[in-house]
């Protein structure tokens, strides 16, 4: 009922009569609706043609979606979720990257802040409007922002619209977006093409076939870009996804204002550079037309563009076969982006058919000529097949950049450098490109004989023997700053990313004397702290004084000069004298060893520790290490001289058990290799072949290894190995079987009877019953067997034999404590060789670790972090821009400043009049004053030797030869130079540490400009984490 009808008053009430004035109102109402509708339709048509309203609305909104970069972490930032572009460039993974970098010691220096409008838009699933990058990838810069390494991807692109051949533009417009470049509509919204959208909607609602049958769909190039870059998986999964793509593309289109012609041209450029074209073996993901041509057809980008520009026929030119082929290849890739993996990998025939169909459509529409169509149809698409393998990691990085890449990949949790190189990431390093390149060229030149001679590398102790090309040189230079050490140069002559300085384990010879003298002076600093100013023993002192030589000397010295300062005590300690004679042998490392000096003239001298360090006198440092070991031995938990004085001391048994277990493990490791991967029968056969074939020994092996075997099996096994046994011996079989019962003998006796090491016998039995057992399982099962095998040691009356083995175990404990101190100085490995020879380099070292120690000395005994990276910038000039820098941990005091000063004086003296004299005076300030240079040299001749039982040398082969010079330059710079030859070729060389010192001299002209530069420190130094000298000497167990 109409609300205007009156209420009936009775049964005869009839229809209401419409008054004339009411008819008039109704007429005008209908006219108004028609006029308004026509106006709206007109406006809609006008807007669809011009985009003027959209231009005003979207340009205004885009201006509100802004961001800026400010210091500190951002309270207002969002990151994309799962778009292929955002994932590849790392934008969607930034939260995880930042969390990992925070754990790795970085902090946010600055980050983008979103406007309220941008935050609101991203919270609703829109992409932020900004000028997206044509290329991105890892860039590593030096200290002056000069590129060290670049991995821009895609490697080749269309940089601007004018560089795209016209046939390519017209083709992509025909396929995807025919009205995009309509010049009559300057404000057109490129995200929407209303007629195509309506047609696509109609076809979708009526299910009229697939896209290939229909031609282009409703998406414009702008929305396809949004989908390919920012939608999850690069797909449209719902109408909501499509709407978000259109809104995002519209906002991006009007970012520069209401007129969009230049934006539309840029869309074509971006589209061609962003085509997803599946993945190719050996190359990984293929993005962009240029990469697609190279990966799938093996065609150069510039060549293809050149050919396509001349693909159209004219009155003076016919279409060339090459041009037609290039055009067809490009067309096929433009079509393949619809289903890249399907067309390019799974069904290439379908792509060929689709390409041929479009050639006909393009010709029918007048986009290409019939001549080009016919020539292209006649050409076959020949796909390039690449060998399978991991994706290429791009251009090989120079060594320091390679180290940065490897560490970044690890810190970010990336499985490959391939992924790292594709991130939108810029790394500002501390390296100096000019010095780096100059040093690299200089080191590589030294591999040429004439250039090596010009650098002064010919002569005794240099390259007087061997091929210069066989020597690998490495050089590292660091600059200390306030609270940080910066790597300036790291290079080698190897020409590979591997860093010898950081990755190699080398015998660096006498450089170990530096670590030894540091430990020696640390001991003196601890003794000073403990005894300075206290009453000497016997005059009111209640504390017993250990009887080691170093403590006795320090206590006596402090008693004679109670007002001595720490620097004075350290200077006096460096003047202590030792015999340099090699006549004596030393019990260390579990045996008697002899040592010799490099220069026999030193044999009859009694140099001071200072003089021995300067001249690198070996025997002095052997004796110094002996005293250091004695010092620590007196401080082992539970140590007492009574251990050696009283045979009944219970600790003796504990030490002997440890010795038996340790040496037993060594033998088990050797025997396990002999029986590894053998079945039970092969184990027995191998063991039987190891003994002399006498009835008793063979019988012993058979009974002890297989005690549960029957008499018949025993007899058969024995007879098979002794077929010529006489009858009388045959009658002994049962006697042997019964007399060699396992229960009658302990393990040591069983080994004696069989003529085998008891542990070999035990291991063979164990592996017979546990075939396939690992070495760890064998060791875990045999602690009692190892002790039982050394029964003679526990029962012997030879106290000296026991004492030597107790000292061996104590020496191992002592070297664990020395190792703890060395680790605090930067020693890189997990253990030291428990031998006095460690003072001469037998425990090996690493050049970078030596440089770290030089840095501690240069910094007055404080360890500061070594910095390669100054700044890491993610997503620069985007809404996700985040800059992180290394955080500054507290500097750690490793040893007193007085100790560092004494060490610097020792190092300077070594250059001034010691083994590194070649480097004296090679660097000078601009006013002519010499720059103070200090250093320590070392030569390592690592050889593998085997000896017979009579101590006769059986084999002697070279493993490697290395020489090193670790140096300080003035009060700012330090580093290390190394020369290294590996393998049997090392026997061809006789160079010593004179070689790296001479290389340092040859590099001096390169170093001078760097040394004269100054760099202001951007931040104040961090506070110190104080540590007393004794902290370095604490027992590992706590």
Q: What is the pLDDT of residues 833-845, one digit of tens each?
A: 999 999 999 999 9
Cα separation, 370 vs 259, in Å, equals 37
Domain contains 114: no
Helix H, strand E, coil C: the string for 103-126 is HCCEEEEEEEEECHHHHHHHHCCC
Domain count of the chain?
4
- Please check whether residue 957 is in contact with residue 944, taking contact to mean a CB–CB distance below 8 angstroms: yes
Give the model confidence (pLDDT) of 431-463 as tens digits: 999 999 999 999 999 999 999 999 989 888 998
Give the model confidence (pLDDT) of 468-483 as tens digits: 989 999 999 999 988 8
Q: What's residue 1031's pLDDT?
A: 38
- Please check whether residue 656 is in contact with residue 789, taking contact to mean a CB–CB distance below 8 angstroms: no
Strand partners, 284: 280
Residues 6+ apart with CB under 8 A from 910: 613, 614, 916, 934, 935, 936, 937
Burial of 60 (0-12, 13-18, 19+ CB in 10 A): exposed
3-state secondary structure of 845: strand
Backbone torsions φ then ψ of 511, nearest 5 degrees: -60, -25
Cα separation, 246 vs 227, in Å, equals 9
Q: CA separation (Å) from 818 to 142, 630, 811?
A: 39, 12, 10
Last residue of one domain, picked from the residues 217, 236, 267:
267
Q: Does the structure show a pLDDT above 70 at 734?
A: yes
Q: Which of 225, 335, 331, 217 is nearest to 269 (CA)?
A: 225
Cα separation, 40 vs 38, in Å, equals 5
Q: What's residue 687's pLDDT?
A: 86
* Span 860-888, average pLDDT: 94
Query: Long-range pairs for 1019-1024 at CB < 8 Å and ≥24 separation?
Result: 1019/482, 1019/483, 1019/888, 1020/482, 1020/483, 1021/482, 1021/483, 1021/891, 1022/483, 1022/888, 1022/889, 1022/890, 1022/891, 1023/890, 1023/891, 1024/862, 1024/890, 1024/891, 1024/892, 1024/893
Q: What's residue 772's pLDDT?
A: 87
Q: What's residue 985's pLDDT?
A: 84
Sign of dihedral through CA atoms 1018, 1023, 1025, 1027? positive
Q: What is the largest CA-CA distance in the chain?
A: 150
Domain contains 257: yes
Cα separation, 255 vs 131, in Å, equals 8
Domain contains 383: no
852 with 1000, same domain: the answer is: yes
Q: What's residue 545's pLDDT?
A: 73
Q: Which of 338-352, 498-512, 947-961 has the lowest mean pLDDT?
A: 947-961
Domain contains 446: no
Residue 554 domain boundaries:
513-635+806-840
Domain contains 214: yes
836 with 849, same domain: the answer is: no
Two structure tokens written together for 507: 């015998």
Q: Which of 815, 793, 814 is nearest to 804 (CA)?
A: 793
* Span 297-321, average pLDDT: 84
- With cut-offs at 50, 70 and 90, classify the pLDDT of residue 990: confident
> For residues 890 and 264, which has the higher predicted lDDT (pLDDT)?
264
Give the model confidence (pLDDT) of 2-41 as tens digits: 433 344 444 444 556 667 766 677 767 776 777 677 666 6
- Burial call 813-826: b when 16+ CB within 10 Å, e when fewer: bbbbbbbbbbbbbb
Query: Which residue has 């070297």 as its token pair?
Result: 815
826 with 680, same domain: the answer is: no
C-alpha count within 13 angstroms, C-beta hemisphere, residue 787: 10
Q: Does the structure show a pLDDT above 70 at 869?
A: yes
716 with 829, same domain: the answer is: no
Q: Does the structure show a pLDDT above 50 at 849?
A: yes
> For residues 49 and 335, which has the higher predicted lDDT (pLDDT)?
335
- With cut-offs at 50, 70 and 90, classify the pLDDT of residue 44: low
Cα separation, 704 vs 700, in Å, equals 6
Percent of the chain that is helix, strand, coil (3-state, to 5): 50, 15, 35
Domain contains 343: no
Backbone torsions φ then ψ of 185, nearest 5 degrees: -125, 80
- Please check whether residue 644 is in contact with residue 803, taking contact to mean a CB–CB distance below 8 angstroms: yes
696 with 816, same domain: the answer is: no
Give the model confidence (pLDDT) of 776-826 as tens digits: 998 998 888 888 888 888 887 788 888 888 899 899 999 999 999 999 999
- With cut-offs at 50, 70 and 90, classify the pLDDT of residue 394: low
Q: What's residue 1007's pLDDT?
A: 92
Domain contains 450: no
Q: Does the structure show a pLDDT above 80 at 675?
A: yes
Q: CA separation (Å) from 602 to 462, 619, 813, 914, 930?
A: 22, 9, 32, 14, 31
Q: Does the structure show a pLDDT above 50 at 215?
A: no
Last residue of one domain, picked from the residues 238, 267, 296:
267
Q: Which of 210-214, 310-314, 398-402, 748-752 has the lowest mean pLDDT?
A: 210-214
**Within 10 A of 90 (CB to CB), how many other CB atoms are there?**
24
Q: How far is Cα of residue 975 from the mean position of the Cα atoms in its chain?
A: 21
The β-bridge relationship of strands 586-588 and 591-593 is: antiparallel
Q: Which of 213-217, 304-308, 624-628 has the lowest mean pLDDT?
A: 213-217
State yes or no: cis peptide before 154, omega within 30 of 0. Answer: yes
816 with 736, same domain: the answer is: no
Whole-number average pLDDT of the chain: 86
Q: What's residue 47's pLDDT?
A: 64
Q: What's residue 396's pLDDT?
A: 63
Q: Which of 277-281, 355-359, 677-681 has the lowest mean pLDDT?
A: 277-281
- With cut-offs at 50, 70 and 90, classify the pLDDT of residue 51: confident
- With vertex at residue 899, the alpha carbon angle to CA 1030 and CA 567, rounded to the nearest 5 degrees, is 105
- Please check whether residue 292 is in contact with residue 286, taking contact to mean a CB–CB distance below 8 angstroms: yes
Cα separation, 115 vs 127, in Å, equals 14
Provide the total of helices (H) and of strands (E) in the chain, helices listed first. 43, 20
Two structure tokens written together for 45: 């048509």
959 with 810, same domain: the answer is: no
**Within 10 A of 596 (CB to CB), how many other CB atoms are there?**
12
Give the model confidence (pLDDT) of 557-574 as tens digits: 999 999 999 999 999 999
DSSP 434-470: HHHHHHHHHHHHTTSHHHHHHTT--STTTTSSS-GGG
Q: Does the structure show a pLDDT above 90 at 1024?
A: no
Cα separation, 926 vs 486, in Å, equals 23
611 with 579, same domain: the answer is: yes
- With vertex at residue 1017, the alpha carbon angle to CA 1016 and CA 1020, rounded to the nearest 5 degrees, is 145
How is residue 136 annotated by DSSP? Answer: B
Q: Which of 6-10, 533-537, 654-658 has the lowest mean pLDDT?
A: 6-10
Strand partners, 812: none
C-alpha count within 13 angstroms, C-beta hemisphere, residue 812: 11
Give the model confidence (pLDDT) of 173-195 as tens digits: 999 888 888 888 899 888 887 76
819 with 939, same domain: the answer is: no
- With cut-offs at 50, 70 and 90, classify the pLDDT of residue 112: very high
610 with 671, same domain: the answer is: no
Residues 6+ apart with CB under 8 A from 562: 532, 533
- Please check whether residue 530 is in contact with residue 558, taking contact to mean a CB–CB distance below 8 angstroms: no
594 with 631, same domain: the answer is: yes
- With cut-offs at 50, 70 and 90, classify the pLDDT of residue 391: low
Q: What's residue 284's pLDDT?
A: 83
- With cut-offs at 50, 70 and 90, classify the pLDDT of residue 58: confident
Residues 6+ apart with CB under 8 A from 710: none
654 with 767, same domain: the answer is: yes
Last residue of one domain, picked from the residues 201, 232, 267:
267
Q: What's residue 296's pLDDT?
A: 94
H or E element, residue 392: none
- Winning range, highest mean pLDDT, from 208-222, 310-324, 903-917: 903-917
Strand partners, 113: 68
Cα separation, 717 vs 696, in Å, equals 13
* Span 98-122, average pLDDT: 95
Q: Does the structure show a pLDDT above 50 at 1027?
A: no
Cα separation, 1003 vs 997, in Å, equals 10
H or E element, residue 140: strand 138-141
Domain contains 13: no
> For residues 620 and 199, which has the higher predicted lDDT (pLDDT)?
620
Q: What's residue 489's pLDDT?
A: 94
The β-bridge relationship of strands 138-141 and 425-429 is: parallel
Q: Which of 64-73, 105-114, 1026-1035 has the lowest mean pLDDT?
A: 1026-1035
Two structure tokens written together for 215: 């031609």
Two structure tokens written together for 57: 């609305």
Burial of 860 (0-12, 13-18, 19+ CB in 10 A): middle
Q: Which of 736, 679, 675 is nearest to 704 (CA)?
A: 736
């Amino acid at each position: 009922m109409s609300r205007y009808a009156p209420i009936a008053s009775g049964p005869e009430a009839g229809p209401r009569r419409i008054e004339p004035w009411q008819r008039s109102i109704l007429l005008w109402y209908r006219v108004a609706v028609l006029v308004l509708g026509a106006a709206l339709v007109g406006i809609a048509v006008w807007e669809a043609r011009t985009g003027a309203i959209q231009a005003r609305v979207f340009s205004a909104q885009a201006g509100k979606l802004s961001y800026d970069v400010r210091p500190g972490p951002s309270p207002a930032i969002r990151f994309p979720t799962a778009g292929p572009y955002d994932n590849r460039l790392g934008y969607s993974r930034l939260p995880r990257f930042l969390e990992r970098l925070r754990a790795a010691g970085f902090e946010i220096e600055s980050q983008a802040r979103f406007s309220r409008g941008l935050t609101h838009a991203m919270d609703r699933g829109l992409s932020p409007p900004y000028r997206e990058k044509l290329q991105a990838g890892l860039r590593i810069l030096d200290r002056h922002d000069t590129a060290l390494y670049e991995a821009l991807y895609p490697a080749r692109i269309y940089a601007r619209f004018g560089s795209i051949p016209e046939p390519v533009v017209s083709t992509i417009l025909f396929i995807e977006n025919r009205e995009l470049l309509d010049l009559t509509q300057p404000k057109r919204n490129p995200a929407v093409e209303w007629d195509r959208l309506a047609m696509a909607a109609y076809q979708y609602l009526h299910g009229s076939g697939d896209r290939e049958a229909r031609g282009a769909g409703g998406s414009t190039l702008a929305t396809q870009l949004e989908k390919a870059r920012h939608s999850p998986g690069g797909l449209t999964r719902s109408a909501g996804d499509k709407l978000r793509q259109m809104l995002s593309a519209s906002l991006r289109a009007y970012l520069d204002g209401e007129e969009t012609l230049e934006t539309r041209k840029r869309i074509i450029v971006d589209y061609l550079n962003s085509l997803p074209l599946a993945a190719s073996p050996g190359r990984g993901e293929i993005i962009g037309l240029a990469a697609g041509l190279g990966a799938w057809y093996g065609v150069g980008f510039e060549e293809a563009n050149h050919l396509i520009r001349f693909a159209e026929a004219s009155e003076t030119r016919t279409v060339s076969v090459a041009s037609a082929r290039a055009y067809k290849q490009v067309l096929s890739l433009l079509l393949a982006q619809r289903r890249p993996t399907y067309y390019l990998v799974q069904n290439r025939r379908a792509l060929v058919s689709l390409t041929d169909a479009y050639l006909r459509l393009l010709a029918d529409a007048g986009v290409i000529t019939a001549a080009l169509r016919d020539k292209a149809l006649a050409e076959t698409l020949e796909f390039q097949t690449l060998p399978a393998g991991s994706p290429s990691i791009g251009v090989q990085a120079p060594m320091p950049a390679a180290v940065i890449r490897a560490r970044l990949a690890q810190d970010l949790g990336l499985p490959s450098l391939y992924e790292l190189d594709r991130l939108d990431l810029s790394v500002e390093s501390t390296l100096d490109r000019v010095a780096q390149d100059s040093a690299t060229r200089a080191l590589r030149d030294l591999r040429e004989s004439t250039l090596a001679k010009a650098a002064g590398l010919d002569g005794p102790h240099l390259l007087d023997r061997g091929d210069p090309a066989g020597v690998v040189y490495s050089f590292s230079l660091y600059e200390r700053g306030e609270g940080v050490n910066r790597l300036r140069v790291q290079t080698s002559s190897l020409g590979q990313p591997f860093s010898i300085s950081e990755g190699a384990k080398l015998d660096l010879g006498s450089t170990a004397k530096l670590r030894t003298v540091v430990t020696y002076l640390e001991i003196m600093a601890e003794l000073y702290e403990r005894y300075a100013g206290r009453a000497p023993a016997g005059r009111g002192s209640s504390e017993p004084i250990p009887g080691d030589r170093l403590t006795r000397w320090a206590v006596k010295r402090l008693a004679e000069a109670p007002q001595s300062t720490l620097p004075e005590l350290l200077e006096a300690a460096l003047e202590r004298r030792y015999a340099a004679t090699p006549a004596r042998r030393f019990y260390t490392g579990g045996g008697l060893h002899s040592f010799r000096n490099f220069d026999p003239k030193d044999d009859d001298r009694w140099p001071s520790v200072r003089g021995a360090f300067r001249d690198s006198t070996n025997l002095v440092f052997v004796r110094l290490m002996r005293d250091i070991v004695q010092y620590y031995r007196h401080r082992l938990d539970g140590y007492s001289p009574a251990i050696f004085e009283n045979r009944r001391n219970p600790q003796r048994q504990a030490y002997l058990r440890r010795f038996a277990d340790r040496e037993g493990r060594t033998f088990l490791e050797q025997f396990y290799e002999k029986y590894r991967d053998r079945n039970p029968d092969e184990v027995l056969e191998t063991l039987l072949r190891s003994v002399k074939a006498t009835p008793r020994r063979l019988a012993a092996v058979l009974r002890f290894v297989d005690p549960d075997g029957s008499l018949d099996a025993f007899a058969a096994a024995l007879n098979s190995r002794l077929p010529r046994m006489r009858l009388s011996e045959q009658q002994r079989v049962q006697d042997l079987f019964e007399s060699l019962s396992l229960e009658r003998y302990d393990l040591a006796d069983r080994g004696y009877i069989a003529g085998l090491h008891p542990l070999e016998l035990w291991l063979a039995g164990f592996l017979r019953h546990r075939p396939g057992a690992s070495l760890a399982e064998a060791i875990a099962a045999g602690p009692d067997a190892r002790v039982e095998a050394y029964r003679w040691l526990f029962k012997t009356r030879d106290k000296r034999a026991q004492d030597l083995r107790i000292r061996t175990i104590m020496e191992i404990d002592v070297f664990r404590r020395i190792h703890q101190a060395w680790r605090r100085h930067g020693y890189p490995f997990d253990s030291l060789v428990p031998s006095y020879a460690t003072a001469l380099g037998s425990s090996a070292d690493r050049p970078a670790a030596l440089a770290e120690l030089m840095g501690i000395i240069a910094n007055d005994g404080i360890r500061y972090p070594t910095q390669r990276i100054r700044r890491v910038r993610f997503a620069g000039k985007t809404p996700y821009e985040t800059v992180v820098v290394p955080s500054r941990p507290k500097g750690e005091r490793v040893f007193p400043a007085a100790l560092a000063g004494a060490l610097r004086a020792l190092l300077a003296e070594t250059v001034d009049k010691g083994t590194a004299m070649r480097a004296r005076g090679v660097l000078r300030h601009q006013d002519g004053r010499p720059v103070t240079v200090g250093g320590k040299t070392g030569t390592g001749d690592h050889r593998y030797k085997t000896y017979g039982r009579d101590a006769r040398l059986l084999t002697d082969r070279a493993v490697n030869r290395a020489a090193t010079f670790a140096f300080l330059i003035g009060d700012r710079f330090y580093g290390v130079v190394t020369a290294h030859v590996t393998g049997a070729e090392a026997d061809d060389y006789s160079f010593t540490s004179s070689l790296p010192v001479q290389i340092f001299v040859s590099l001096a002209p390169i170093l001078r400009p760097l040394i004269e530069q100054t760099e202001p420190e951007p931040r104040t130094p961090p506070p110190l984490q104080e540590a007393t000298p004794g902290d370095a000497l604490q027992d590992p167990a706590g």
